[in-house]
Amino acid sequence: MILQKPIEVAILIPCFNEEISIGKVISDFNAILPSASIYVFDNNSSDQTVSLAKSHGVKVFSVLQRGKGNVVRRMFADVEADVYVLVDGDATYDASSCQKLIDKLLNERLDMVVGTREHTEKEAYRAGHTFGNKVLTGCVKSIFGGKFSDMLSGYRVFSRRYAKSFPAMAKGFETETELTVHALELRMPYCEIETPYSPRMEGSSSKLSTYKDGIRILKTIIKLYSSERPLFFYSLLALLFAVSGIILAIPLAQQFFETGLVPRLPTALLSTGLMILSAISFITGLILENVTTGRREMKRLAYLKIPIVR
């Protein structure tokens, strides 16, 4: 008789100045999953986050490069486990939902389960971030399809196959988008489960900024379209250049047919340059579309090399 190897679960907690809440997060998850290994990855905090985490007997690592994306990169690279639970260190996510997320992942052989935020208190989630989340989620749906409703949730459970094939190129805030795109791009099995979401503990301040994060969301949307749907993106640019060139050329053409002269040479050169840019943009889109297809194939092969948990 072959004994099945027990599932190794790793709780990954990225932190930056969370001295008020980190102890509660560790205690809550330790109570729910006492057999899991808890890892705190501190992002160069200036308060007592590290010492408080160590006092709870968990493994603490430091990531000096600022940004959540840099932390997630180190987490997936340095930690070995069968199941990875990623949760923020601000005590806003519900630890009691963790087992439900893990069971869903294992029973249905999924690669990612997202704990979507169910919040009833206004303090838990700002209106501006709710709007930005919906806009970004809608754009990702238009590119990849999928049925995500809360793409920016920081509460997720991953398979080993997902974690070890995730390229983690983002540096900061954009990492949640990258986590979602990785699953959609490779057509991994995933699902969402609603989990309670609470306001931050008293005295704890959010690292989010409505306006700065709004600009980041806009930049992320542009980057997604240019890198994941390059033919569509550069075809739009080509159309814009072409229409602008034609609008400038129409009065020049009329004068040429009437007089046989081109009196506004700079405008003629600008129109010609815009039409050249249009052609270059379209060709760029065609080339990058093939590059994107090849990149997805390589990522898929890397994903398939990693054995599933049995």
In tens, the pLDDT along 253-277 reads 888 787 877 778 888 899 999 999 9
Residue 120 burial by Cβ neighbours in a 10 Å radius (0-12, 13-18, 19+): exposed
161-194 b/e (C-beta count within 10 Å ≥ 16 → b): bbbbbbebebeebbbbbbbbbbbbbbebebebbe
pTM above 0.85, yes or no: no
What pLDDT score does 127 carry?
55
Nearest to 58 by CA among 31, 88, 26, 90: 26
Give the whole-angstrom CA distance, residue 252 versus residue 129: 48
Residue 12 burial by Cβ neighbours in a 10 Å radius (0-12, 13-18, 19+): buried
What pLDDT score does 123 carry?
53
Nearest to 183 by CA among 266, 112, 103, 109: 112
Give the whole-angstrom CA distance, residue 118 versus residue 140: 21
Asked whether 117 and 153 are in contact (CB, 8 A), the reply is: yes
Q: At what angle do helices 175-185 and 127-144 cross, to 10 degrees?
A: 20
**pLDDT score of 281 more than 60:** yes
* Residue labelled with tokens 């080339």: 287
What pLDDT score does 214 carry?
66
261-298 b/e (C-beta count within 10 Å ≥ 16 → b): eeeeeeebeebeebbebbeebbebbeebbeebeeeeee
What pLDDT score does 265 carry?
81
Q: Kindly report which listed range (60-64, 124-128, 138-142, 288-292) carries the lowest average pLDDT score.
A: 124-128
Say which residue, 147 or 39, is predicted with more confidence: 39
**How long, in residues, is the chain?**
310
Supply φ then ψ for residue 201, to 5 degrees. Answer: -65, 155
Residue at 24: amino acid letter: K
If residue 195 lies in a helix (H) or strand (E), which one and from where to where?
A: strand 190-196
What pLDDT score does 121 carry?
58
Region 63-77: mean pLDDT is 92
Count of C-beta atoms within a 10 Å radius of residue 68: 23
Give the whole-angstrom CA distance, residue 40 versus residue 63: 10
Report residue 93's pLDDT band, with 50, 70 and 90 as the boundaries: very high
What pLDDT score does 176 carry?
86
Give the whole-angstrom CA distance, residue 90 versus residue 20: 8
Largest Cα separation within the chain, whole Å, is 96
Report residue 1's pLDDT band, with 50, 70 and 90 as the boundaries: very low
Output the CA torsion sign for 64, 177, 214, 292. positive
Nearest to 213 by CA among 138, 120, 143, 125: 125
SS3 119: coil
**Per-residue model confidence as pLDDT tens digits over 200-256:** 777 666 665 656 766 777 777 788 788 888 999 999 999 999 999 999 999 888 887
Q: Give the DSSP per-residue string, 55-71.
A: HTT-EEEE--S-SHHHH
Terminal-residue alpha carbon distance, the chain: 15
What pLDDT score does 136 carry?
75
**Per-residue model confidence as pLDDT tens digits over 162-188:** 999 998 887 776 888 889 889 988 999
Say which residue, 308 or 39, is predicted with more confidence: 39
What pLDDT score does 3 carry?
44
**pLDDT score of 124 more than 90:** no
Say which residue, 253 or 146, is predicted with more confidence: 253
